[in-house]
Amino acid sequence: MNPLLLVSVGGVAGTLVRYAIGILIPQDRPGTLVANLLGVALASALLVLMERRGITKLRLILLPGFCAGMTTFSAVTVHSISPVKGGLLYLATNVILSLVIVAIVLPLARKMIPVRR
């Protein structure tokens, strides 16, 4: 299947999940933060799963498609430079919490997902 089509299908699904998060958490900054942290956690676990199980065809759908469609770095940028107070703190919170999520999820996923033999 065409890689562009695979990324597109995943991106549409990720964007719809992001939209649903925006409905559940209507405030812009918290909604964006939740979407980004969920996307980082999911991408971290999926990387280990694909590495351990040799899944390559789903990679385009799930990582640059779904996870990228769900996370919104552009929204983080807009929230960081908008006139609302605390823009730099919001940016730092996104970056630091994302790194913490990766530091937690990667080792957990490596312990929980066995290597396929």
Q: Is residue 83 part of a domain?
A: yes
Place of tokens 């996307």: 39
Residue 74 lies in a domain: yes
Q: How many domains does the chain have?
A: 1
Question: Is position 116 within any domain?
Answer: no
Q: Is residue 117 a part of any domain in this protein? A: no
Q: Which two tokens stand for residue 45?
A: 């676990």
95 falls within a domain:
yes
- What is residue 27's DSSP assignment? S
Does residue 115 lie in a domain region?
no
pLDDT in tens, 62-87: 999 999 999 988 888 888 888 778 88
What's the whole-model pTM score? 0.88
The answer to whether position 42 is within a domain reads yes
- Indicate whether 70 belongs to any domain: yes
Domain that holds residue 103: 1-110
Token pair 């996104």: residue: 94
- The crossing angle, in degrees rounded to 10, of helices 3-24 and 28-53 is 140
